[in-house]
């Protein structure tokens, strides 16, 4: 879950790398570093790296030192998986003669056996990280091959796990200025410019310089010079990869005056919803641009596979799909799905959900589904991502770049796309006529959702008041029934990941089966009620926790209803179709978590121990 960037061309490499790393810092902020080619001295490579965030570490090193006008370099921002987050373990890493520098995103699963083997050959290790074994493998094979590209290909033959690797060599001497890179299960993007080329773990890092990008495939190697990009396989065979024109505006990846990316992205949700529906829904008719879905009459089960917030989107979608398609549907946690050995086959439709399209556990589950000949659909935000390329069908959420670690607009656009798909596919089945009224009702409501969302975001006074109460506590509880329980799960995740308040979510009816023992005087309980058939039961559950001393805030589309009257405070959400309620509840709980985190002075966009793209298992 690290980020890497590379540059070769005519610009000041240090400036390009530093700017790119800032845009990748959401992927990790335990340390950062760069390796710059020093073409006018005997040093060859200048490696600067420091633990901590870029502002406090690497930037000061660059200001105090000199980049010597280098036009070639690689950089890295780290989220620690092996070894403590300190200067010694920061990237880039070098071999013992310091003739090459290397940055790596991923995990080398067999690094211990490789370390033992290389140590036996006389290699000396100076860090605790798995990445360093690649440096010494490169050193070993450079002696035989004499060519950086071939040495990297030989080195990768030994590696087990996931990696995106970029290498530069010193001294340059007669060698052409070049970066050599490889990828396996970790995203790697090439940016194409005029007399310059770029490399990055994600598109925002290079958007200020180019919108022409090339996504590398698994098993690809690439050699970049200022005027050429060559993609090849391990056997040296050259391959072509399509060039994509990125539509994002570079300004979209900046804060635009907001104090945090998370707040900016929360408030971008109305526009994101409009973007998600644009060209796909008009006059109640759905147009999914020629996507070919499997014959649903042959499908006997539907799985939604995802992790974290995306898993909650799958949980919210599964009941509606099951109801409208009359096919059993369930949500599965990506990190567990493979290991329970699910029954898969051509009669199983698997829907994969991921903001980045690179989530390691979900991606591994996709590979399993492909092996078992399952029809697959991917819902993601990133064009050209690994899941998008591997799945049979891909539907982009079109939410635009999301920088804050906590997912906000990508979660709600995932929900919207999944609800849209349910209605579209439900209409395709012979028995779909019995649910046509539901489909028509939901599709008719979707165009007005963004206006209702704007109304919610225009007045968050009640949310702010509730946040003030919750911010003073170290524990909190979220309860709900049906879809509201799914919203409770997402709400408690948002609160604890950015405010560090311990939070738990429960089906409201389960409190009396043990959890009630944790309810004490004054403890905050967020009670969600948007499902008409469950309002009376939720009112009773609210009464139960209040009788034990809890302070209850109701999140409801009926601010004058029974649940609200029995609560201590109320957060109103728009009254729309009950099936679509997770969209508005999700937003309200995002704001609640954000306000609480601000009051507790937490690092909102970069919560401790977390990274945006979980690209390792």
- Residues assigned a catalytic role: 2, 612
- How far from the centroid of its chain's Cα atoms is residue 540's Cα? 38
- Count of CA atoms in the C-beta half-sphere (13 A) of 418: 37
Rounded to whole angstroms, the Cα distance separating 82 from 345 reads: 37
Q: Which helix (H) or strand (E) holds 34?
A: strand 31-38
DSSP assignment of 423-457 equals: HHHHHHSGGGGGGHHHHHHHHHHGGGHHHHHHHHH
Distance CA 158, CA 341 (A): 28
Q: How far apart, in whole angstroms, are the C-alpha atoms of residue 229 and residue 223?
A: 6
| Alpha carbon separation from 113 to 107, 109, 120, 141 (Å, rounded) | 14, 9, 11, 18
Q: Name which of 399, 400, 298, 397 is nearest 352 in CA terms.
A: 397
Classify burial at 392, counting beta carbons within 10 Å of its beta carbon; exposed 0-12, middle 13-18, buried 19 or more: middle
Residue 65: CB atoms within 10 A of its CB come to: 12
Helices (H), 95-181: 111-120, 132-145, 148-156
Give every CB contact of residue 443 below 8 A, 6+ residues apart in sequence. Answer: 281, 284, 286, 420, 423
* Residue 185: DSSP 8-state: B
* Sign of the CA dihedral with 205 first, then 208, 211, and 212 last: negative
Contact present, 141 and 155 (Cβ < 8 Å): yes
CB 367 within 8 Å of CB 391: no
Tell me whether residue 284 is exposed, middle or buried, using C-beta atoms within 10 angstroms of its C-beta: 0 to 12, 13 to 18, 19 or more.
Answer: middle
Containing 69, the helix (H) or strand (E) segment is none
Cα 190 versus chain centre, distance: 20
14 DSSP assignment: H
Tokens 């290991």 label which residue?
339
β-sheet bridge partners, residue 106: 163
Chain centroid offset of residue 222 CA: 25
Other C-beta atoms within 10 Å of 279: how many?
11
The dihedrals phi and psi of 459, each to the nearest 5 degrees, come to: -140, 100
Q: Provide the 3-class DSSP secondary structure of residue 54.
A: coil
């Amino acid at each position: 879950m690290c980020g890497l960037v590379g540059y070769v061309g005519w610009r000041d490499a240090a400036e390009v790398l530093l700017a790119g790393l800032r845009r990748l810092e959401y992927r990790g902020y335990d340390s950062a570093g760069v390796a710059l080619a020093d073409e006018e001295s005997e040093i060859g490579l200048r490696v600067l790296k420091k633990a901590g965030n870029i502002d406090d570490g690497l930037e000061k090193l660059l200001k105090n030192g000199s980049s010597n006008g280098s036009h070639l370099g690689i950089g890295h921002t780290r989220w620690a998986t092996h070894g403590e987050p300190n200067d010694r373990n920061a990237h880039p890493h070098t071999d013992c003669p310091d003739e090459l520098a290397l940055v790596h995103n991923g995990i080398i699963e067999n690094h211990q056996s490789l370390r033992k083997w290389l140590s036996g050959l006389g290699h000396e290790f100076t860090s605790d990280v798995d990445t360093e074994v690649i440096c010494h493998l490169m050193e070993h094979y450079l002696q035989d091959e004499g060519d950086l590209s071939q040495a990297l290909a030989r080195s990768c033959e030994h590696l087990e796990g996931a990696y995106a690797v970029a290498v530069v060599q010193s001294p340059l001497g007669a060698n052409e200025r070049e970066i050599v890179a490889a990828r396996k299960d970790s995203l790697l993007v090439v940016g194409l410019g005029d007399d310059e080329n770029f490399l990055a773990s994600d598109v925002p890092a290079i958007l200020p310089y180019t919108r022409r990008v090339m996504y590398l495939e698994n098993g690809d190697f690439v050699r970049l010079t200022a005027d050429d990009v060559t993609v090849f396989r391990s056997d040296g065979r050259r391959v072509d990869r399509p060039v994509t024109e990125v539509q994002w505006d570079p300004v979209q990846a900046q804060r635009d005056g907001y104090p945090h990316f998370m707040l900016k992205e929360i408030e971008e949700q109305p526009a994101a919803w409009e973007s998600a529906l644009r060209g796909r829904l008009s006059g109640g008719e759905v147009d999914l641009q020629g996507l070919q879905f499997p014959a649903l009459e042959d499908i006997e089960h539907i799985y939604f596979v995802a992790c974290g917030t995306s898993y909650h989107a799958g949980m919210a979608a599964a009941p509606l799909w099951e109801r409208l398609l009359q096919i059993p549907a369930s949500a599965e946690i990506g990190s567990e799905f493979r290991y329970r050995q699910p029954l898969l086959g051509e009669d199983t439709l698997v829907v994969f959900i991921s903001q980045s399209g690179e989530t390691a556990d979900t991606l591994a589950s996709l590979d399993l589904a492909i092996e078992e000949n399952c029809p697959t659909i991917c819902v993601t935000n990133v064009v050209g991502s690994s899941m998008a390329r591997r799945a049979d069908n891909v539907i982009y959420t079109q939410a635009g770049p999301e920088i804050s670690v906590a997912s906000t607009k990508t979660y709600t656009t995932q929900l919207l796309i999944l609800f849209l798909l349910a209605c579209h596919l439900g209409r395709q089945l012979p028995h779909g006529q019995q649910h046509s009224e539901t489909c028509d009702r939901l599709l008719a409501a979707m165009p007005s959702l963004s206006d209702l969302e704007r109304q919610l975001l225009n007045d968050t006074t009640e949310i702010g008041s509730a946040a003030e109460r919750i911010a003073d506590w170290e524990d909190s509880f979220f309860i709900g029934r049906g879809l509201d329980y799914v919203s409770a799960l997402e709400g408690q995740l948002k609160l604890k990941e950015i405010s560090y308040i311990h939070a738990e979510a429960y089906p409201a009816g389960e409190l009396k089966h043990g959890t009630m023992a944790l309810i004490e005087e004054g403890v905050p309980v967020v009670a969600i009620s948007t499902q008409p058939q469950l309002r009376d039961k939720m009112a009773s559950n609210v009464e139960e926790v209040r009788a034990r001393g809890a302070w209850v805030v109701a999140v409801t589309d009926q601010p004058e209803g029974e649940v609200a009257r029995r609560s201590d405070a109320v957060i109103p959400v728009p009254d729309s179709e009950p099936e679509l309620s997770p969209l508005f509840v999700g937003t309200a709980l995002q704001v609640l978590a954000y306000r609480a985190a601000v009051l507790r002075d937490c690092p909102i966009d970069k919560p401790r121990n977390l990274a945006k793209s979980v690209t390792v298992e």
